[in-house]
Amino acid sequence: MTVKKVALLTAGGFAPCLSTAISGLIQRYTEVAPDVEIIAYKHGYEGLLKGDFLEVTDTVRKNAEILKHFGGSPIGNSRVKLTNAADLVKRGLVAEGDDPLKVAADRLVADGVDVLHTIGGDDTNTTAADLAAYLAENNYGLTVVGLPKTIDNDVVPIRQSLGASTAAEQGSRFAQNIVGEHNSGSRMLIVHEVMGRNCGWLTAATAAKYREWLDTQQWLPEIGLSKKAWDVHAVYVPEVHIDLEAEAARLNKVMDEVGNVTIFLSEGAGLDAIIAEMEKDGQEVPRDPFGHVKLDKVNPGAWFGKQFAEKLGAEKVMVQKSGYFSRSAASNEADLELIGRCTDLAVDCALAGKAGVIGEDEENGDTLTNIAFDRIKGGKPFDVTQPWFTTMLSEIGQA
């Protein structure tokens, strides 16, 4: 196919890869197909529906490298599901009776777009899959090529989603200061809530990165600078049931010995118990347009903080969330390398008219390839049997 114009969009929550991925796509097109026009829809699918976009000028092309030094997304994100017509009508993005997929497809045609690059997580790419299927079924002759962004690292069958490595590293940096608060009161309980609705990978990887940092430090327990006090004492992920009573008994011993307890908690860990308690009390469980529980409203960290504070006799409790700190960071070296390879292949596939999501395919020997949209799924669970994770739990005394 002949590609004359491509469009980019970023969607869903932020991850430390969006700005870098935009940079990589612009640089690759400039290198191999400099005559291709590039636009970027503002605030994801919202901008697509509204026809609101930025033009990638020659100045942007020449200076695209600058984008790699920043987190966030310069073109903006939003949470829009193209198959949730009722929500889109309510938000004024489509008219009553309109098919949002047709509105989006017609807008792409009106804007002269041949290729759409979507950069997002499972919701973004499942929405991209819906759009790609609609385009194909209705002979629009457009190609959609996605890039997998999510700090949860939970996209099937992709080995490593873009931005996840950086998010774990940044979560560790966040913890280095937060855990320093452990002596700001006696019998101190710290809950470090980490993003991860269904998948505990980020919480586990953040704890592992933090403990790697601990191993690089010198300690002086004689004056109270104790590695035991600075350590992680519990790591809770959605894939493992939390026995509150058993863990309270174990952590009480830690509190008595060390004087503080630090918990790394996935925001989705124990969520069923929290929801059940809310529904039992007659409370409405808030949900977003995708049907997900609004975790910022439910506040799992505060719930667990309250549960453990009572059981551990904590005199001071601090709940801190590293999510926004982590997800808006600039890409680290590992992500820069991975994103670079993915954006190069994304452009090559786009120019060849090959739709799909670019990633290292776990079901195909971790080969970097163009994965068919119908194979992309969200909610990949974290494998809690991995040796690095089981070893960490053993070292901190958690069954």
Residue 312 belongs to domain with CATH number: 3.40.50.460
Sign of the CA dihedral running 353, 354, 360, 365 = negative
Same domain, 323 and 344: no
pLDDT digits (tens, 9 = 90+) for 277-293: 777 778 887 887 767 77
- Distance between CA atoms of residues 223 and 309, nearest Å: 27
Same domain, 217 and 260: yes
Q: Report whether 146 belongs to an annotated binding site.
A: no
- Distance between CA atoms of residues 387 and 393, nearest Å: 10
Final residue in a domain of this structure, among 265, 297, 327: 327
Domain annotation covers residue 178: yes
Same domain, 361 and 323: no
Q: Report whether 290 belongs to an annotated binding site.
A: no
Domain annotation covers residue 397: no
Quick check: pTM over 0.85?
yes
Q: Report whether 255 belongs to an annotated binding site.
A: no
Domain annotation covers residue 46: yes
- Distance between CA atoms of residues 227 and 217, nearest Å: 9
Q: Report whether 13 belongs to an annotated binding site.
A: yes
Q: Report whether 305 belongs to an annotated binding site.
A: no
152 is catalytic: yes
Same domain, 182 and 146: no
Q: Report whether 325 belongs to an annotated binding site.
A: yes
Final residue in a domain of this structure, among 308, 327, 346: 327
Q: Report whether 137 belongs to an annotated binding site.
A: no
Same domain, 150 and 219: no
Same domain, 276 and 371: no
pLDDT digits (tens, 9 = 90+) for 83-108: 899 999 999 999 999 999 999 999 99
Domain at 357, CATH number:
3.40.50.450
Same domain, 16 and 49: yes
Full residue range of the structural domain in which residue 250 is found: 165-327
- Distance between CA atoms of residues 191 and 266, nearest Å: 10
Domain annotation covers residue 180: yes
Closest CA relative to residue 118, chosen from 152, 162, 156, 86: 162
Domain annotation covers residue 388: no
Same domain, 255 and 221: yes
Provide the residue type at 122 as one letter: D
Same domain, 289 and 148: no
Q: Report whether 150 belongs to an annotated binding site.
A: yes
Q: Which of 130, 152, 335, 361 is catalytic?
A: 152
- Distance between CA atoms of residues 13 and 159, nearest Å: 20
Domain annotation covers residue 175: yes
Q: Would you say 264 and 192 are in contact if contact means Cβ atoms under 8 Å apart?
A: yes
Mean pLDDT of the chain: 94
Q: Report whether 197 belongs to an annotated binding site.
A: yes
Same domain, 85 and 189: no
- Distance between CA atoms of residues 399 and 395, nearest Å: 10
Confidence (pLDDT) at 228: 97
Count the domains in the chain.
Answer: 2
Closest CA relative to residue 181, chosen from 192, 197, 195, 166: 192
pLDDT digits (tens, 9 = 90+) for 211-235: 999 999 999 999 999 999 999 999 9
Confidence (pLDDT) at 276: 77
Domain annotation covers residue 18: yes
Domain annotation covers residue 344: yes
Same domain, 232 and 263: yes
Q: Would you say 79 and 289 are in contact if contact means Cβ atoms under 8 Å apart?
A: yes
For the cut 90, the answer to whether the pLDDT of residue 379 exceeds it is: no
For the cut 70, the answer to whether the pLDDT of residue 315 exceeds it is: yes
Q: Report whether 196 belongs to an annotated binding site.
A: yes
For the cut 80, the answer to whether the pLDDT of residue 295 exceeds it is: no
Same domain, 187 and 275: yes
pLDDT digits (tens, 9 = 90+) for 247-260: 999 999 999 999 99
Tokens representing 397 are 């005394």
